[in-house]
Amino acid sequence: MLNWNLPYITDEHRSLAALMKDFCEREVDLRALNDLADKPIAPNATPADLRARLPLDLLNKAHDAGLRQIAAPAKFGGGGYGEDHVAMGALAETAGYYGGQFGRLMTIAWKQMAAFEYAPEEVAKEVIEDFMNDRTTMMAASFTEPNSGSDMLLPYDEPGVAGQTLAVKDGDDWVINGDKMFCTAGGVSNYITVMARTDPKGPISKSMTQFLVNTRNPGWSVTRVNDNMGNELSSNVQMRFENCRVPDKYRMSPVNGAFEVGKSRLAGKTAHLFAELGWTERAWEDFKEYSKARIQGGKRIIEHNNVGMLVAETDCLIRTLRLFLYNDAWEWCGEGRGQLRDPLGWFYANWYCKKVMWRVFEAGLEIYGGLAPSRELNFEHFVRVKMSMFHGGSTGLLSLVKAAKVIAGQASDAVQET
Amino acid sequence: MNIIVCVKQIADPEAPEESFTLDSEKNVFIPSAKITKVLNPFDEQAVEAALRIKDQSGAKVTAFSLGAGLDRAVTKKPVFMGADELILLEDEAFADGDSWSTARALAEGIKKNGSYDLILCGRQAADWNAGQVGLGIANFLGLPYVTVAKKIEIIDGKARVERVTSNGHEVVEVQLPAVITVSNELGQARYPAIKNIRAANKVQPVVWKPSDIGIDPSSVGKNGRRLHLLKLFKPVIQGTCEIMEGESTEEMAENLALTLRRAKIL
């Protein structure tokens, strides 16, 4: 159970979290969502096949409750909470705790709203109105490429290296050609923000531009579904852009300025980490209760030192992660729209979240023993899915590499995250 | 039309065991500081019943709550759902009352508030489950009282109520004003509206102390109790497992049924 005795949490935040809890308890069937996510994905799955894996009815109900659109600007009919990172954290944590996979579906929708802070007003209006009117509308962001993973994320800033997806101006349009590698929800989205090289020779941090691609237009396709050991409901795909035309009005950053803009959108990504926190807390509660019920050696296993210490250690780690995330969220609220901020908080949050999850995996394996891989427990689904997404927002170690560069004064201005 | 809804803040019924203790010597429930407080779920349904009437035929819905140190995020929930006003009887003197002292205070508060056509309460509170406050309010105000409503319609100054019975429901009519308790068979309460939560800071409840409603503090709350709690304890639950024998699934099922019948469970 989540308690809200935190200094950053207001009555308003608690009311929002209570709403999310109510919704999840009424509408989310954890087992059904897990089973839906675990349905085999055909090698030649089409976007329509991938959409069939989405619980559209649940998303529809989330919209009725005001939750799906809670991060969208109020002027477009949304909840207007997109820049209250503490509120979004409380909502995401609650959705992850009570809703598991549902939490991630919500944070994908919420996080993309941050991308429209810098879009031209008419583009933001067009897309967000589509999102509001068509409840099946999804959005995604694509960044890494088959030959550019860490090269994009660090970034490796040698001239002309990394980022082979090119965008070339042709009249009033840009024409995009190239492949993108890991795109969460790419196969089910109507809109994808795409980073493409607009300076073929420069260092990547000063050569990328962000575009908004409408996947209903020609030139975009899914080339492969990344079928992982634990799939999310939104799936994860590789994509190809072949002479994909994007009018200049759908350019979401200054030319060659995508990295600069991307920095100040990092706060929106923390919703993902909060959802992971919530799911991790739930996994911890489950093995805590198990350890209090299971009798071995004449007593509850939590009374055995090895198990008791694991439960206590992971409780401590989760509590510190929680405080860290809410502190960061609170600081980001104070920074204001468009302000560049110290990226260390995000790097550490990304690293530490993964560190804690990994330790919770280890603890659960020890505590459940032979039962750990059993499909009867939510634990195994949690481990499979979360391990499959450990690269999300860059791996933990890569985040520390970047943090070290910042501390050493070696980081370029474009220390960036997807 | 003026509808009053009485709502109670309670400790979350789903709170884990470690979030509270029972002092069996003093017969006191001691929640930890971290225990989550929620609105009594049955009272949420009473709010929903009021709002359905408001949606259909227009009404002013006023929520009342009573206690000490009331959590605004909890007690404002009726307003987030669509109620028009919130009145809190809030003072240390109101704490730890029983059904009698609570009903008395609420009745006085309702009288002070002015005219009313209908008073709704949840059928019981999910902490002590006494289910008597509504009855007490009706008694103090001299009003007719209908229990466990699953549907309420207002027709020509009367309430037409479908009441839950053990094998279905019955329909009764009562002249307004009246007190009606609402049962969970009413259905799901609506979610609070996000825009109302966002405007939460603009919602300022009216707060009354015992002196504001003309009541002696020594006659409410703990000091006004008429119910004496003799024993408060956590039942010891012991689990045993009996394996049903049988040559086949059908035989094991039959043995299970016979065992349950012998234990007077079936």
The CATH number of the domain holding residue A95 is: 1.10.540.10
What would the pLDDT profile of A87-139 be if each residue is shown by its tens digit? 999 999 999 999 999 999 999 989 888 777 667 889 999 999 999 999 999 99
Beta carbons of A1 and B194 less than 8 Å apart: no
Beta carbons of B77 and A26 less than 8 Å apart: no
Q: Could you list the residue range(s) of the whole structural domain that residue A273 is in?
A: 261-408
Distance, in Å, from the CA atom of A125 to the CA atom of A75, rounded to the nearest integer, reads 9
Q: Same domain, yes or no, for A392 and A302?
A: yes
Beta carbons of A4 and B36 less than 8 Å apart: yes
Beta carbons of B192 and A19 less than 8 Å apart: yes
pLDDT of A267 > 70? The answer is no
Q: Same domain, yes or no, for A269 and A371?
A: yes
Give the pLDDT score at A339: 55
Return the ∠ at Cα A246 (arms to A242 and A252), rounded to 5°. 125
- Please tell me whether residue A77 adopts helix, strand or coil conformation: coil
pLDDT of B198 > 50? The answer is yes
Number of domains chain A is built from = 3
Q: How many CB pairs under 8 A join A and B?
A: 56
Distance, in Å, from the CA atom of A373 to the CA atom of A379, rounded to the nearest integer, reads 8
Closest CA to A19 of B204, B200, B59: B200
What would the pLDDT profile of B18-75 be if each residue is shown by its tens digit? 888 888 888 888 888 888 899 999 999 999 999 999 999 999 999 999 999 999 999 9
In a domain, A413, yes or no: no
Give the pLDDT score at A266: 61
Which of A256, A283, A308 marks a domain boundary? A256
Mean pLDDT for chain B overall: 93
pLDDT of A418 > 50? The answer is no
Q: Same domain, yes or no, for A313 and A395?
A: yes
Beta carbons of B73 and A11 less than 8 Å apart: yes
Of the given ranges (A19-33, A128-142, B123-137, B227-241), which has the lowest mean pLDDT?
B227-241
pLDDT of A153 > 90? The answer is no
CB burial of residue A238 (10 Å; 0-12, 13-18, 19+): buried
Q: Same domain, yes or no, for B135 and B256?
A: no
Quote the DSSP letter at residue B231: -
Number of domains chain B is built from = 2
* Pairing relationship of beta strands A166-170 and A173-184 according to DSSP bridges: antiparallel
Mean pLDDT, residues B156-167 taken together: 95
pLDDT of B199 > 70? The answer is yes
Give residue for tokens 């009570």.
Answer: A98
Choose the closest CB to A22 out of B191, B195, B201.
Answer: B191
Q: Same domain, yes or no, for B139 and B33?
A: yes
Exposure of B48 in the CB half-sphere (CA atoms within 13 A): 22
Distance, in Å, from the CA atom of A4 to the CA atom of A326, rounded to the nearest integer, reads 11
Contacting residues for A349 by C-beta, under 8 A, at least 6 apart: A270, A273, A324, A325, A328
Q: Could you list the residue range(s) of the whole structural domain that residue B254 is in?
A: 236-266
Quick check: A46 and A40 in contact, CB under 8 A? no
Give the pLDDT score at A268: 67
pLDDT of B237 > 60? The answer is yes
Write the ipTM. Answer: 0.86
Beta carbons of B198 and A12 less than 8 Å apart: yes
pLDDT of B240 > 70? The answer is yes
Q: B-chain residues within 8 Å CB-CB of A3?
A: 34-36
Q: Same domain, yes or no, for B80 and B132?
A: yes
Q: A-chain residues within 8 Å CB-CB of B76?
A: 11, 15
Choose the closest CB to A66 out of B15, B36, B193.
Answer: B193
Q: Same domain, yes or no, for A266 and A398?
A: yes
In a domain, B229, yes or no: no
* Cα separation values, A319 from A91, A389, B237, Å: 17, 22, 31
Distance, in Å, from the CA atom of A124 to the CA atom of A321, rounded to the nearest integer, reads 34
Q: Same domain, yes or no, for A179 and A289?
A: no
Distance, in Å, from the CA atom of B247 to the CA atom of A81, rounded to the nearest integer, reads 62
Mean pLDDT, residues A369-398 taken together: 88
- Please tell me whether residue A384 adopts helix, strand or coil conformation: helix
Residue in A with minimal Cα distance to B37: A3
Distance, in Å, from the CA atom of A305 to the CA atom of A63, rounded to the nearest integer, reads 47
Which of A227, A256, A285 marks a domain boundary? A256
* Pairing relationship of beta strands B118-122 and B178-182 according to DSSP bridges: parallel
In a domain, A116, yes or no: yes
pLDDT of A417 > 50? The answer is no
Distance, in Å, from the CA atom of B198 to the CA atom of A16, rounded to the nearest integer, reads 9
- How many CB atoms are closer than 10 A to CB A76? 17
The CATH number of the domain holding residue B128 is: 3.40.50.620
Q: Same domain, yes or no, for A113 and A204?
A: no
Beta carbons of A66 and B73 less than 8 Å apart: no
Distance, in Å, from the CA atom of B84 to the CA atom of B203, rounded to the nearest integer, reads 10
Query: Which residues of chain A approach chain B closer than 8 Å at the C-beta?
Result: 1-5, 11-12, 14-16, 18-19, 22-23, 26, 65-67, 70, 74, 79-81
Q: Same domain, yes or no, for B249 and B211?
A: no
Q: Same domain, yes or no, for B246 and B131?
A: no
B204 contacts chain A (CB < 8 A) = no
Contacting residues for B184 by C-beta, under 8 A, at least 6 apart: B41, B42, B45, B123
Most confident of A206-210, A400-404, B116-120: B116-120
Query: What's the pTM value of the predicted model, to 2 decimals?
Result: 0.91
Q: Same domain, yes or no, for B214 and B241?
A: no
Give the pLDDT score at B16: 83
Distance, in Å, from the CA atom of A73 to the CA atom of A56, rounded to the nearest integer, reads 22
In a domain, B35, yes or no: yes
Q: Same domain, yes or no, for B89 and B174?
A: yes
Q: Same domain, yes or no, for A19 and A117?
A: yes
In a domain, A89, yes or no: yes
